[in-house]
Amino acid sequence: MPPAARRVLIVEPSRAQRSVLVALLREVGADFVEAANMTDGLRQAGEQRFDLVCVAAKLPDGTGTQLCSALRGRPGMPPIPVLVLLPDPEPRKVKALLEAGATEVMDRKEVERIRQFLGRALPPQPVLTGRVLVVEDDLAEAEALVAVLRNIGLEARHVADPNHALTRIRDEPVDLLITAAMLQAPLTGAALIREVRGMPGAEGRTPVLAMSSQIDPVRRIDMLRSGADDFIPKPVVPEELTVRVERLLRGKRREEEGEAHRAAFEALALTDPLTTLNNRRFLSEVAPMYLAEARRHGFPVSVIVVDIDHFDHITHTYEPAICAEVLRSIGRLIRRECRRGDVAVRCKDDQFVLLLSHCAVSDAKLKAETLRARIAQLKPAGVAVTVSLGVAQAQGMPAESFGDLFLHVNRVLHAARKGARDHVVVAQDQPASP
């Protein structure tokens, strides 16, 4: 029998980070179960089979290190690969996680590296896979349906009680629900469908294939009005069942692919298309989180503003293709100079911003001097280019905002550029004008 769909356990308290992982897993066709804390994650890992665990380094009731140790220490637990995502992968933290049993440790902001890892860890799946739940109180008919579904590579289960079906769907979502119209229970097939459609999120959008007698149009219409996606008459013909099931599952996959594409478009909305660096919108979203994290844990955060000198002269002197190459070349150089965890942004035509975590102003000034010197040597497309850079460190005050810090650096840099170009100025050395 073909292998079951690959399943991934996501243990991540951040809804935003879970959304990123879900989009990536849908790209590789993997199923997933979400847990918001370590306790729930360990429970899920003990009750279900998973091909991979993705876990945050910090959890409300523990750490990624503790979860790795617990997974590896459980008797009889299969060797599940564990990917740990953290915001600042320092060597000491990475070593501790690997010693605890993590398979891989990555920066949670490096989406492309995570995508590549998932592609390696979750090899391609068969064309038709998925989990199907059959709700039918006629045991012989149910067994025949399950046999057909398993024969085409699907993981099929059967329950007779619709209340048990609702519990199953809530605990372990399925790719397709097949239900009879008449059931020997308080819930009819139509009532079961209405309950499913009332569930939040993806569970409420589960494809439903309804079954009823060919001579029972009233029940058929009731089930379709209740939210069934398709109908198949009893007695079920195996070939027809195969066609209808395949059509519903492919439709579900297309919907999931559409969601993945929408997530990719959202990522593009945070990227500068010319330099492929992040854009100002991305900076406005992540900068407050960086400052809040720095205040909470007491580490320094610095910012470097990079302005291209005389960029108006360059745009008036050279054709657009050359000006674009100047910007791309500076963007590539800035990216190369970034450490893992740094944020590089193109803010506007001639301005770039670097947000440096765990970096004091003295180290930021050295990096700025390095950038200044290397850009001066760059000469992209034969154009001599220099930059002026402003440097500042967040003060860690509760009321401090990134907007205030950015404005302060810009003012100091603007004032300094009136006298000289191709230089570095530290904002603390020259207070901003009122």
What pLDDT score does 259 carry? 73
Q: Which of 24-33, 118-127, 260-269, 375-384 has the lowest mean pLDDT?
A: 260-269
From 102, 124, 146, the end of a domain falls on 124
Poorest-pLDDT segment among 8-17, 60-69, 259-268, 370-379: 259-268
Q: Contact 103/82 with Cβ under 8 angstroms?
A: yes
Same domain, 136 and 116: no
What pLDDT sits at residue 407? 85
| CATH number for 330 | 3.30.70.270
Is 267 inside any structural domain?
A: no
Contact 136, 160 (CB under 8 A): yes
Looking at the structure, do residues 135 and 119 belong to the same domain, yes or no?
no
CA angle centred on 375, ends 372 and 381, rounded to 5°: 160
Q: CATH code at 96? A: 3.40.50.2300
**Whole-prediction pTM:** 0.44
> Is 266 within the bounds of a domain?
no
Signed CA dihedral, 275, 279, 283, 286: sign only = negative
> Which among 164, 89, 5, 8 is positioned nearest to 358, based on CA atoms?
89
Last residue within a domain, chosen from 82, 98, 124: 124
The residue that leads in pLDDT, 263 or 420, is: 420
Predicted pLDDT at 249: 92
**Enclosing domain of residue 91:** 7-124
Q: What is the pLDDT of residue 261?
A: 66
Q: Could you tell me if 225 and 336 lie in one domain?
A: no
CA-CA-CA-CA dihedral for 247, 249, 252, 257, to nearest 10:
-100
pLDDT score of 3: 46
Instruction: Report percent pLDDT > 70 for the chain.
Output: 91
Residue 379 has pLDDT above 70, yes or no: yes
**The pLDDT value given to residue 398:** 65
Type of residue found at 164: H
In a domain, 136, yes or no: yes
3-state class (DSSP) for residue 258: helix
Residue where one domain finishes, among candidates 124, 151, 169: 124
Helix (H) or strand (E) holding 388: strand 387-393
**In sequence order, which residues have a C-beta less than 8 Å from that of residue 101 and are 6 or more positions away?**
68, 69, 71, 72, 82
Is 262 domain-assigned? Answer: no
- Collect all residues with Cβ–Cβ distance below 8 Å to 27 and sequence separation of at least 6: 115, 118, 260
Tens of pLDDT, residue by residue over 299-308, are 999 999 999 9
Are residue 81 and residue 160 in the same domain, yes or no?
no
Q: Which tens digit of pLDDT belongs to each residue from 49-102?
A: 888 999 999 999 999 999 999 998 888 777 788 999 998 888 999 999 999 999
Residues 235 and 292 in one domain: no
User: 321 lies in a domain?
Assistant: yes
Q: Of all residues in the chain, what percent carry a pLDDT higher than 90? A: 48
| Same domain membership, residue 145 and residue 56 | no
